[in-house]
Amino acid sequence: MSDVYAEPTTGADPTDPATLARYTTLRLGGPAGRLEIATSADEIVRKVQEAEAREQAVLLLAGGSNVVIGDQGFPGAVVLIRSRGFRLVAEDADTVTVRVEAGEPWDDLVAATVERGWSGLECLSGIPGSAGATPIQNVGAYGQEVAETITAVEAYDRTRRTVVRIPAADCGFAYRGSIFKYSDRWVVLSVDFRLTRSPLSGPVRYTELARALGVEVGDRVPLADARATVRRLRAGKGMVLDARDPDTWSVGSFFTNPVLEPEAYDRLRERAADLGEPPSWPCPGDTVKVSAAWLIDKAGFGRGHTGPEGVAISTKHTLALTNRTGTASTAALIALAREIRDGVQTRLGVTLHPEPVLINCAI
């Protein structure tokens, strides 16, 4: 299941409205068995229930910025999430709680919170997709994760056929994961975020961002400065959608940063002794998170490395796999992903795992 947002793009057979390439940022994906649009939470639930009554499988799409759909498409019902808006549901002297519809474009929401002087999402600027997608993979960047501000997720429980509000503590948030990811049980309808009333960002945690802002790690900066700098950094890596830039025709980071046990990290350092120290960050339980971009590069897959049919690693960032021509197949992209995964495993002994949801395809 995927729940992300973007306006339709061109792709394979763009004249066919049921071709899912039109609704993914990779511009990939075959036909839908049935294509429907839902503009409210009630309509989302109804469309899902109607598909179940027809005994059809259901795929939820807002814009396809974190999904890879196979060339065979999806034979069931594809529901395009187009619900919009947000509203205050609680506030006090220091905080506000904002309830956001699943289809609300994420970067529009971040811009609105920054303009209103609400701190907590500013370092997540420029990320494509919808608000409803963010709890699914616990979206994070530049030192912030949505798990830090989400207080609850409203979802339709397809097992019990009822709408429930799930407290953040029960969402199973982890690195790029939650109870919602890889599960067909839950349909995200809205998300509650508790934000701080402040003209300043949270403490800057990410070294690259601090350097770009000209401050020290731990300092706070005006919200607008944090947002503008994050967007500039992301754009420089091809991570802000731009119809004119083929480097952005991707799902962003294709692989997650692997989290290794201490023994596995020591083995990596031994195998990479001639390549330099792997960039890493300590994680709970003595585990270590390692840069997937570094692993890919050191395994011999540099920026611009090409695969079949013109698919390629972005010329700006080694973690993004792109459909540069806009006419490639999903099979070609998967072949490139397998080449990279297998090459990293052979050279450095680390297995990379995909970050996007894979629909009718696998690496």
**pLDDT tens, position by position, 130-155:** 999 999 999 999 999 999 999 999 99
Q: Please tell me the pTM assigned to this model.
A: 0.89
Q: Is the pLDDT of residue 6 over 50?
A: no
- Nearest-angstrom CA–CA distance, 238 and 242: 8
DSSP conformation letters of 154-189: EEEETTTTEEEEEEGGGS--BTTB-TTTT-SSEEEE
Q: pLDDT per residue over 256-301, tens digit each?
A: 999 999 999 999 999 999 999 999 999 988 999 999 999 999 999 9
Span 341-352, average pLDDT: 98
Give the H/E segment covering residue 348.
helix 330-348
Q: How confident is the model at residue 63 (pLDDT cuts 50, 70, 90)?
A: confident
Q: pLDDT per residue over 15-49, tens digit each?
A: 465 689 999 999 999 999 999 999 999 999 999 99
User: What is the average pLDDT value for the chain, to the nearest integer?
Assistant: 93
How many residues are given for the chain? Answer: 363
- Nearest-angstrom CA–CA distance, 323 and 67: 13
Angle subtended by helix axes 106-115 and 223-236, to nearest 10:
150
Residues designated catalytic: 176, 253, 355
β-bridge mates for residue 260, sequence order: 288
pLDDT at 17: 55
Residue 341 identity:
R
Q: For residue 358, how many other CB atoms are within 10 A of its CB?
A: 17
262: buried, middle or exposed (CB in 10 Å: 19+, 13-18, 0-12)? exposed
